[in-house]
Amino acid sequence: MKPAKIVKNVIGLAFLTLAIFLVRCAPKPAARIVPRKPLIFAVHVLVESKKAAWGLIGEIPAMAKSGVNLLVCEVDYNYEFDSHPELRGEDPVSMDMVKEMVRLCRRHGIRLVPEFQSLGHQSWAEKTWPLLIKYPQFDETPGKYPGNKDIYCRSWCPLHPDLYPIIFSLYDELLEAFEADALHVGMDEVFLIADKDCPRCAGKDPGELFAHAVDAAYNHLVKEKGVEMLMWADRLIDGGTTGYGEWEASMNNTFPAVDMIPKDIILCDWHYERKYENMKGTGFPSVPIFLDKGFRVLPVSFKDTKAVKMLIDYSFKYPSERMLGHMCSSWGGVEPGKIAKCKQFKTIAKELRKYGLQTTK
């Protein structure tokens, strides 16, 4: 072999050896990290009167300073509706008040979303809300339970043909007044469904009926109006297999609806108690169940600060961009100067900062 060829072969072998060495020594690709969108710190409040509206308006700057970026304002029938003034509550919130909320939320970077309780929660204690008073034919249990005795809350009939044009006009007014790009439709704690005395629903499958109600709202809000839809998640959870029970999950067979409804609905998955610390190995099973099914999930807590921490920490074990953040539920109004002192609110703000919540200085 000629000397030049020998040199050439040696050089080639050296380069090959170096290449193999570099490949073997190169760092392995990092494990895939699912990027999270900015965390949602949501607050849910009831606005059932003018006083409650002014109280909320006074707290919006303090909420924003703590990192709140989503405000779910449950008004239900407590707005000065023009399309159906007969459905106004006793002390309805005015357009001017809503516009002040809009102005402040926009100024402080808070997304403002109205809520209208749909299907269930059409009464409370002995008082029935305006829809079933003015239109008793829409009641799922017409003529039954006088004075609302022996029931939790009334429901409307999801199959009544004249119901939805009225409800959708209320949805539309709230979307316009709040200048909102989403609506929360409620739908929690529905116990009266597929009643044996309802001429339309008797004998029907509760899961299919519940899915029909969800789909009706979805088709109007998402498909026709082009806005997002949020709802409470409890009726989509099997209360028996998960261990949640009949309040924060379904024991009346509405839960199969979870596989019948669109997956781009935001599910607000509420759990308020600390008893789940004893559910070893399972924690809050609805969180991974909903994520696995393709839903976006916004867990919700209430007053017990230990339960708040448990739910937040458990939720963030799942590295999915569809685990959106956390919601603070008040189930009441707020008063100026009180939100910053609320233990539940402060706990959520502190916990979310550990997971990347951005706050103003």
The domain spanning residue 62 has which CATH number?
3.20.20.80
Taking only the tens place, the pLDDT of each residue in 296-332 is 999 999 999 999 999 999 999 988 899 999 999 988 8
Length of the chain, please? 361
Residue 307 lies in a domain: yes
Residue 80 lies in a domain: yes
Total count of domains within the chain: 1
Quote the pLDDT of residue 280: 53
Q: Computed from CA positions of residues 94, 223, 116, 66, in that sequence, does the dihedral angle turn out positive or negative?
A: negative
Residue 13 lies in a domain: no
**What number of other Cβ atoms are within 10 A of residue 110's Cβ?**
22
Residue 5 lies in a domain: no
Quote the pLDDT of residue 358: 77
Q: How confident is the model at residue 273 (pLDDT cuts 50, 70, 90)?
A: confident
Average pLDDT, the chain: 89
- Backbone φ, ψ for residue 152 (5° rounding): -85, -65
Provide the domain limits for residue 251: 36-354
Residue 9 lies in a domain: no
Q: Across residues 184-192, what is the average pLDDT?
A: 98
The percentage of residues in the chain with a pLDDT greater than 70, rounded to a whole number, is: 88
Say how far apart CA 293 and CA 261 lie, in whole Å. Answer: 11
Residue 306 lies in a domain: yes
Taking only the tens place, the pLDDT of each residue in 345-354 is 999 999 999 9
Taking only the tens place, the pLDDT of each residue in 27-83 is 333 333 344 578 999 999 999 999 999 999 999 999 999 999 999 999 999 999 999
Residue 19 lies in a domain: no
